[in-house]
Structures are given as C-alpha cells and as structure tokens.
C-alpha cells in the first residue's frame, strides 16, 4: 500500500446536512480544518461552493433536500460510492453523521399555518430520523458518531415557538432512545442542545392578519418589538460554537449524549429543574413585553366583557 493510500484510508469522514449557511457551513469548515473528508449537503449548492474552494481536497458538496425521501436515498448512493472509491473496502465507513438542517417556525400556537406545521415537522423531525436510518449502516461500519443540532427551545415555553419547540423536543426524545439502541454497535450519539447562535435562522413570515394576538394595539406593538429583537440577538458566533461542539463530540464517551452549547443553552435544563414555572413565564413576559398584551387580550376577551357587549 502506498503512503498516500494509507493516508486516505485513515482520513476521517463526515456527512453534514444543512451546510449552505450558519451552523452547518461552519461545521464543515471546522471538520475540514481538522483533516476530515466532509460531504456537505443542502438544497442551495451555490452557497456551499466557497467551502469546496477553501478545502478542495477535504470537502465534497452535493445537493440533498432532507424533506424528500428520494433525495436522501440519492444522497446515500452518492456518499456510499464516494466512500467506496477512496476507502478500498467492502464496508464503507462514515465516522460522523451530522443532522443539522432545520427550519424555524414562529407563530402563535393557534395560528400556525398548516403547511408551516407540516414542513417544520418534516424537516426538523422526519428528515433527521430518515437520514439516520438510511446512513446508519455506514456509521456502524466506522463505529462512529451520529450528531443532531437540537435546541434549548425544546425545554422552555418560548413564546410563539410552540411548533418549533415541539419539533426539537421530538428530536431530543428520538436521540435519547437512539443513543441507547446504538450501544451494542459502539456508535455514539450526540444531541447538541443549542442556545442562541448568530446565523440567518429566523422566521420572517407574517403572523396571520386575523390572529387574535393582533386584535389589540398592544399585540401589534408586541410583534413589532419581536422583529427588532431578532436583529439585535446576543448570540454566540457560529465558528466559536462549532469549534467547541466538535471538540466535545470528538471526546464523547460512555452514556453521555447531551451536549450544551451556545448562548443561554444552560438556562433551559437548569430552569426546568430548579425554578417554579411561574418564574420562567415571568421572565419570558418581561423579555417579550407580553404583560401589556396579556392584559389587553384579557380585557377584550374576558367572559364579563363579552356579556356586556
């Protein structure tokens, strides 16, 4: 075996979903800088070209829409063929499968448009489960790691994020059992409970005009304030977050599977354990300026008021 063949065989391999921006983009840079061969996927291929240009030997970009089963299956064939070529083995190995692609969903719980509900559950829950099922044999061959970008929103009653939070809570539950079931294959599972990270991740779709929450002036002001909040987020830089996450993933061992990373990622788990719910709600009311809105809605929709009108 030549020296270059030996190096190629030893090279660690990773597949990351959702690499056209934000966390996924920075994960690819971090892994490639550590010498991994990274298969970077998303729907917008052009946005990933700079990754391949920066690391032509280490990064392979390809289109994979995780909301489509067909696209995931095609992605699997592509990655398997690429691995088989470079690894010269009957059992192609993927050291790290990173389910990162996700989409936001920010609407009051009773206003979520049906398509937004279905899309969010598809991209944030069904997709990572399908990707994991389909690529698992490659990770088992490598005794590798399956990682997921979760969210602290899964643990907190974050206002207007009920469906997004539900999708990330479902993902966390899936990971917990997956980690247990992967034990006999020596495959590690990392669920990354992620706090605020500076990326383009925000839902700019308008709240439906007939929403009860927009039926008072206070409601209109509240959603205007929320828009401004989104542009002034004090999050962790995506490159810093990815460096720390990859450090932790490379060291993960035993039954540990939860990793906490990013601004305020520690708050959810601690608050859930030690704080009474009314304190958590009071903190969110203050942060999102909800007191005035709640009062206006109570005035408008209370039984007593309705009786008088």
Q: Binding of ligand NAP at residue 151 (CB under 6 A)?
A: yes
Q: Give me 99's structure tokens.
A: 């389910």
Query: Any contact of residue 162 with ligand NAP (CB under 6 A)?
Result: no
List 7, 9, 33, 44, residue binding ligand NAP (CB under 6 A): 44
Residue 75 in the binding site for ligand NAP (CB under 6 A): no
Choice between 26 and 87, CB closer to ligand NAP? 26
What stretches of 88-247 adopt beta strand conformation (E)?
Answer: 96-99, 145-149, 188-194, 197-198, 236-237
**Token pair belonging to 276:** 């009474």
Residue 109 beta carbon to ligand NAP: minimum distance, rounded to whole angstroms: 18
The least distance separating ligand NAP from the CB of residue 13, rounded to whole angstroms, comes to: 19
Segment near ligand NAP (CB under 6 A); pick from 60-68, 80-88, 203-211, 268-276 = 60-68
Q: Is 240 a catalytic residue?
A: no
- Give 127's Cβ-side CA count (13 Å radius): 29
d(CA 232, CA 229): 5
- Is residue 98 within the footprint of ligand NAP (CB under 6 A)? no
Rounded distance between C-alpha atoms, residue 28 and residue 266, angstroms: 25
Q: Is 20 a catalytic residue?
A: yes
The whole-angstrom separation of Cα 99 and Cα 176 is 15
* 85 vs 83: CA distance, rounded Å: 5
DSSP state at residue 58: T
Say if CB 140 and CB 185 are below 8 A apart.
Answer: yes
Catalytic residue among 98, 168, 188, 296: 168
Contact with ligand NAP (CB under 6 A): which of 52, 65, 218, 261? Answer: 65
Instruction: Check residue 161 for interaction with ligand NAP (CB under 6 A).
Output: no
Residue 147 interacts with ligand NAP (CB under 6 A): yes or no:
no
Site membership for ligand NAP, residue 67 (CB under 6 A): yes
Q: Is 21 in the site for ligand NAP (CB under 6 A)?
A: yes
Binding flags for ligand NAP, 220-259, as an x/- string (CB under 6 A): ---------------x------------------------
200 binds ligand NAP per the rule CB under 6 A: yes
Using CB under 6 A, pick the residue from 126, 199, 211, 215 that binds ligand NAP.
199
Q: Which residues pair with 198 in a beta bridge?
A: 237
Sign for the CA dihedral angle at 46, 63, 171, 147 comes to: negative
* Catalytic residue list contains 296: no
**Closest approach of ligand NAP to the CB of residue 40, in Å:** 9
d(CA 34, CA 246): 10
Contact predicate 81/73, CB 8 Å: no
The alpha carbons of the chain give a radius of gyration, in whole angstroms, of: 22
Q: Which residues bind ligand NAP (CB under 6 A)?
A: 17-24, 42-44, 65-67, 100-103, 123, 149, 151, 194, 196-197, 199-201, 235
The set of catalytic residues is 20, 164, 168
């Amino acid at each position: 075996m030549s020296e270059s063949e030996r190096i190629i065989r030893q090279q660690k391999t990773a597949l990351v979903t959702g690499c056209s921006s934000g966390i996924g983009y920075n994960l690819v840079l971090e892994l490639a800088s550590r010498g991994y061969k990274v298969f970077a996927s998303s729907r917008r291929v052009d946005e990933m070209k700079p990754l391949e240009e920066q690391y032509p030997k280490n990064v392979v970009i390809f289109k994979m829409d995780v909301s489509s089963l067909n696209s995931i299956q095609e992605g699997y064939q592509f990655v398997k063929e690429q691995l088989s070529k470079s690894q010269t083995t009957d059992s192609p190995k993927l050291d790290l499968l990173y389910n990162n692609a996700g989409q936001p969903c920010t609407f009051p719980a009773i206003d979520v448009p049906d398509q937004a509900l279905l899309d969010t559950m598809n991209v944030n829950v069904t997709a990572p489960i399908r990707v994991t099922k389909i690529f698992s044999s490659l990770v088992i061959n490598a005794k590798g790691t399956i990682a997921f970008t979760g969210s602290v929103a899964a643990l907190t009653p974050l206002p207007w994020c009920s469906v997004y939070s539900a999708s990330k809570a479902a993902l966390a539950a899936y990971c917990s059992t997956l980690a247990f079931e992967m034990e006999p294959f020596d495959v590690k599972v990392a669920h990354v409970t992620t706090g605020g990270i500076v990326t383009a991740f925000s839902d700019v779709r308008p709240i439906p005009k007939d929403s009860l929450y927009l039926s008072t002036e206070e409601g209109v002001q509240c959603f205007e304030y929320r828009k401004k909040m989104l542009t002034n987020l004090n999050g962790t830089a995506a490159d810093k977050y990815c460096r720390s996450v990859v450090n932790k993933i490379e060291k993960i061992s035993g039954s540990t599977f939860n990793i906490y990373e990013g601004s305020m990622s520690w708050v959810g788990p601690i608050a859930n354990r030690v704080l009474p719910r009314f304190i958590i709600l009071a903190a969110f009311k203050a942060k999102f300026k909800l007191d005035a809105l709640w009062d206006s809605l109570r005035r408008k929709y209370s039984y007593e008021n309705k009786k008088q009108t």
